[in-house]
Homo-oligomer: A and B are copies of this chain.
């Protein structure tokens, strides 16, 4: 078996169809005029040869690769994977294709990822984790790479920023606890302190202060099940035990609830009310049934993609604040 040329080119198709390369090109470019006759000939030849337009070359010419780069850490986590799921789906529907770069949580690795996006001449990049520094953002913009920042707090020109109204949600959490008659509030959070997480914390503390309710705060590790467990042990052995705990993440809430029940034999919501955030699937499972706030995942994705489809020339800074609906379940009394 002889080594054959790996890919079939428009040239080959043109030869077989008895037309010029440009005719082939036009056939595969929507909105170009080709006669029905040649189009048919080209299509037949292309099909027979298994021809597929080379998007690398097309991107080179058009200065538009169709690639959108997703920069994410902790992809195995429920919220992240659902967001990536929605994003890839909607990008595909918009005729784009997603490139996925996995970072650790460091800002440095985000910078590396963005450089990679530039190398592949991505049309845009959606940053879900980490905070790219100003110089990198400038570099991207100068290279024609549009940027969507999700739940990051820096504002830059020519960039779309999508945030949630974390403070408002936190305030609603306090209200819910107050209605349930909770007297001793608490909040658990990661040590990392990403912008949205810190906004929830600050909002919760402020709203509680407005009602003269004290708040105990614990920080530990990442927003994981294990962290939730550990902070439950810390919090529930304090002199005064909290009776209303806001977990800034559902994953934290799951770990917190499991140890509160198994190790401290507390009844939720009788002895202790719990509120989470994200509305991951597990929050709706019978064992947890957590009152929480729903991340508007599809809304985030839809807004990001809509902005990308828009005119590339718009260079104004745009900022979107989406609402996280409260989802009432059984981990809070009343409701």
Contact = CB atoms under 8 A, between A and B. Distances in A.
Given A97-B116, A225-B285, A287-B287, A75 B88 contact: yes
Interface in A57-112: 57, 59-60, 63, 65, 67, 70, 75-78, 80-82, 84-85, 88-89, 92, 97-102
A8 interface: yes
Interface stretch (A32-40, A137-145, A201-209): A137-145
A18 interface: no
B6 A70 contact: no
Contacts of A6: 63, 143-144
Interface residues of A, number: 58
A117 to B, nearest CB: 9
Contact of A285 (B52, B139, B254): B254
Contacts of A288: 287
A94 to B, nearest CB: 13
Contacts of A262: 286
A70 B100 contact: yes
A7 B144 contact: yes
A270 interface: no
Contact of A59 (B56, B88, B100, B285): B56
27 contacts: A4-B142, A6-B143, A7-B143, A8-B143, A52-B115, A52-B143, A54-B119, A54-B121, A55-B119, A56-B56, A60-B60, A70-B100, A75-B81, A75-B85, A75-B88, A76-B85, A81-B84, A88-B100, A92-B101, A97-B101, A97-B116, A100-B100, A225-B281, A258-B286, A258-B287, A262-B286, A287-B287
Interface of A: 4, 6-8, 50, 52-57, 59-60, 63, 65, 67, 70, 75-78, 80-82, 84-85, 88-89, 92, 97-102, 115-116, 118-121, 139, 142-144, 225, 229, 254-255, 258-259, 262, 281-282, 285-288
